Amino acid sequence: MKDILAHRTTKIDASGIRKVFALAATLKGPINFSIGQPDFDVPEPLKQAAINAITAGTNKYSQTAGDEILKAKITDRVKQEFAWSKPATIVTSGVSGALLLAFMALINPGDELIIPDPYFVMYKHLINMLGGKCVFVDTYPDFALPVEKIAAAITDKTKMIIVNSPCNPTGAVYSQQRIKALADIAAKNDILVMTDEIYERFCYDAGCASIAKYYNKTLLLRGFSKSCGMTGWRLAYAAAHECLQNVIEEMTKIQQYTFVCAPTPFQKAAIAALDYDVSDFVAAYRKKRDFIYEGLKDKFELVKPAGAFYAFVKAPAGASATEFVEKAIAKGVLIIPGNVFSEKDTHFRISYATGDEKIEQGVNILCELV
C-alpha cells in the first residue's frame, strides 16, 4: 500500500504533555502536575457575557480578523502600552492559533529561528513542519535571557527571534535590562522578534518587561486562556506596529482558509475580560509558587519561578528526567520530562495549577522519591 501520509507528519511527534494528560484520565485520583491549565473556572461575569451573547443570537461568524468592538479595545490597549500610533491586530483561536498563522505567514524552508532552550513545546514542531530550522540557545542553569548567545547565533538566514516571558516551562521572567539589550541586537540586525506573552498577567515579584516597548519590529501574542481560566474558549490576539501591518494582513488571509474566525460569542466575553481584575488569582498562584519552591528546594535543584505557573526542576543525580518521571508517575504524580521542552533531559516540569492539597501531597511524594 502506498504511503498516504504527508511527509510533514514525520516532522512532529505526539505531544508528551498530551500523553501524560491522557494517562491522567485513566488513573484514580492522580496528582496532576502535567497540564498548564488553571484550576479556577471562568469568572461568573465573563460566563454571563458569553451566555448573553449566545442567547442574543451572536452565534454566526465574526469578521475574519475579529469582532470590531473587541479589536478596537485591543488596539486602544496596545496604543497606550507601547505608543504605537496605528497598530494592526487580529483575534485568533488561542495563542496556539496565532503561532500557526504567524509561522505560516513568515517561514520559508531553510529560514532559521532562534529559540531560547527550554522552550514552549509547540515552537519546535510547527517550525520543523514548515521546513524552518530551529536554532536553540541554551539558557541553563538560571534560565535568564541569553542575550550574548543569541547575538552569536544570528546568521544571514535568521528570520526571527522568539521570546517567551513569563516562560513555559521554566517560569522565568526576563529582566528589563536583558529585554532592552535583545531589542538593540534585533534592531542592529533588522530581525523580527515574536514575543509570546500568554502568561503576562502572572508575574509574582515584579512587572513583566515586553520587548514590544523597545522594538517596533515585534509581533506581540497575548491571550485570555490562562488569566481568565478559559482555555477551552480558544481566544487570543496578535498585534504589531504599523511597520509589520503586512504580517497581520497575511495572518488574516490565512485565517480565512483555516480557523475562519475565533469563536464569536466568546469574543464578546473577551471585551469584558480585557478589563477583568485577576489580582486575586495571581495572589493565589503566588502562594502556590512559594509552596512548591519551599517544599522542593531542600531536596531538588531548582530556580525559583518568577511567573506563569510552572517550575522546571532538575532530576536527582544519577537519573535522567525521563527515568525520574516514570518513578513519579508510578506513585501517582504526573509530571512532564524536560526533553519535551528542551534538547536536554535533565529537568522535569511541574505545573502547580492545581489545588493546594494536591500540591502538598505531590511535593511530599516527590521528596520521598529522592
- 2 part of a folded domain: no
Q: Are 31 and 51 in the same domain?
A: no
Q: Are 149 and 12 in the same domain?
A: no
Q: Are 133 and 209 in the same domain?
A: yes
- 1 part of a folded domain: no
- 233 part of a folded domain: yes
The greatest distance separating any two alpha carbons of the chain, rounded to the nearest whole angstrom, comes to 60
Q: Rounded distance, CA 351 to CA 335, Å? A: 8
Chain CA centroid to CA 196, Å:
6
Q: Are 88 and 26 in the same domain?
A: no
Q: List Cα–Cα distances, 151 to 107, 143, 191, 329, 353, in angstroms.
A: 20, 17, 11, 40, 35
The reported pLDDT for the residue numbered 207 is 86
Q: Are 29 and 76 in the same domain?
A: no
The reported pLDDT for the residue numbered 7 is 87
Q: Are 269 and 284 in the same domain?
A: no
Q: Which of 223, 238, 273 is the last residue of a domain?
A: 273
- The SS3 assignment for 307 reads strand
* Predicted confidence pLDDT, tens digits, the chain (370 residues): 568 888 888 888 765 666 666 666 677 778 999 988 999 999 999 999 999 999 999 999 999 999 999 999 999 999 999 999 999 999 999 999 999 999 999 999 999 999 999 999 999 999 999 999 999 999 999 999 999 999 999 999 999 999 999 999 999 999 999 999 999 999 999 999 999 999 999 999 988 999 999 999 999 999 999 999 999 999 999 999 999 999 999 999 999 999 999 999 999 999 999 999 999 999 999 999 999 999 999 999 999 999 999 999 999 998 899 999 999 998 999 999 999 999 999 999 999 999 999 999 999 999 999 9
Residue type, 123: Y
The reported pLDDT for the residue numbered 282 is 97
The reported pLDDT for the residue numbered 20 is 66
Could you identify the residue written with the cell 502556590?
Answer: 288
The reported pLDDT for the residue numbered 166 is 98
Q: Are 99 and 237 in contact (CB under 8 A)?
A: no
Q: Are 305 and 171 in contact (CB under 8 A)?
A: yes
By 3-state DSSP, what share of the chain in percent is helix, strand and coil, each rounded to 5? Answer: 45, 15, 40
Q: Are 49 and 36 in the same domain?
A: no
Kindly report the pTM of this predicted structure: 0.94
Q: Are 205 and 301 in the same domain?
A: no
Q: Are 64 and 147 in the same domain?
A: yes
Could you identify the residue written with the cell 497540564?
Answer: 35
Q: Are 165 and 102 in the same domain?
A: yes
Show Cβ contacts of residue 106 under 8 Å, excluding neighbours closer than 6 positions.
159, 160, 192, 247
CATH number at residue 255: 3.40.640.10
Q: Are 117 and 251 in the same domain?
A: yes
- 303 part of a folded domain: yes
- Structural domain for 90, as ranges: 44-273
Total count of domains within the chain: 2
CATH number at residue 332: 3.90.1150.10
The reported pLDDT for the residue numbered 155 is 98
Q: Are 27 and 64 in the same domain?
A: no
- 283 part of a folded domain: yes
The reported pLDDT for the residue numbered 18 is 62
Q: Which of 243, 273, 303 is the last residue of a domain?
A: 273
* H or E segment and range at residue 134: strand 133-138
- 336 part of a folded domain: yes
Using one digit for the tens of pLDDT, what is the confidence trace for 74-126? 999 999 999 999 999 999 999 999 999 999 999 999 999 999 999 999 999 99
Q: Which of 219, 243, 273 is the last residue of a domain?
A: 273
Q: Are 334 and 32 in contact (CB under 8 A)?
A: yes
Q: Are 311 and 317 in contact (CB under 8 A)?
A: no
